[in-house]
Amino acid sequence: PKGIVGNLRVDFKPVDIEVIEKEVKDLQLGGDFYPFCASSHDVAIIIPYRNREDQLKALLRHLHPVLKRQNIHYRIFVVNQVGENKFNRAMLMNVGYAEAMKMFEYTCLVFHDVDLLPE
């Protein structure tokens, strides 16, 4: 697809979520992205999360442009653990999977850590 190659800006400066919302256009309510062409893939990105707001913002700011360039239908699920119990990443992944599949019959699921940026 056109625009799939080339450099992406990586910016680690903390920004407000409103800035990211303005930068990432064409998202549906709830974070769904549908490309203008027919997509052969429906992808759920599941991110286990707790208390890493700056990393989450940096990831979202970087990840949306990467995914949009692929011309795929996707939605990012941020699964938040509250409370003071030990962080249970596996449980959050299971919850994310269950909730994603309730919303749509995704053909691909990607489990991603909040503190890693794809290249």
- Which residue ranges of the chain lie beneath pLDDT 70? 1-9
Among the listed residues 116, 15, 5, 22, the one whose alpha carbon sits nearest the alpha carbon of residue 69: 5
pLDDT in the model for residue 24: 78
pLDDT in the model for residue 6: 64
pLDDT in the model for residue 77: 96
pLDDT in the model for residue 1: 53
Rounded to whole angstroms, the Cα distance separating 18 from 21 reads 5
Rounded to whole angstroms, the Cα distance separating 25 from 33 reads 9
Which residues have C-beta within 8 Å of that of residue 63, sequence separation ≥ 6?
45, 76, 112, 117, 118
pLDDT in the model for residue 96: 97
C-alpha triplet 31, 90, 107: angle, nearest 5°: 45
